[in-house]
Amino acid sequence: MATFVVIASFTDQGIRNVKETIGRAQVFTEMAKKTGVTVKDMYWTLGRHDIITICEAPDDEAATALMLSVASRGNVRTETLRAFSFDETTKILGKMV
């Protein structure tokens, strides 16, 4: 499974309805399951971004389908980062020429 870090920021719609963020997070977790993605952790943050989520997905396509589904609801804008573990990075560096 590939790891993804999702950085989310509330849209105007999302911040107007911020009291619903916990319910939306639960819906997000259920949506993730339907696309084969596992939500490992979710944090609400201070600063430029509002939510950070750590997910595991079988492939890029599953992660993309989930993020497009979330974005289409209009409450957050997301940036998705593929994350590599220490072991994965070691393997990648070992393939360098």
- Per-domain boundaries in the chain: 2-94
pLDDT score for 22: 98
Within 10 A of 94 (CB to CB), how many other CB atoms are there?
7
pLDDT score for 96: 96
What's the sign of the alpha-carbon dihedral 67, 69, 75, 77? positive
Q: Which residues contact 28 (CB under 8 A, 6 or more apart)?
A: 39, 53, 70
* List of E strands, the chain: 2-10, 38-44, 51-57, 76-83
Question: Distance between CA 49 and CA 10 in Å, rounded?
Answer: 8
pLDDT score for 82: 97
75-87: pLDDT as tens digits: 999 999 999 999 9
The CATH fold assigned to 2-94 is Alpha-Beta Plaits (3.30.70)
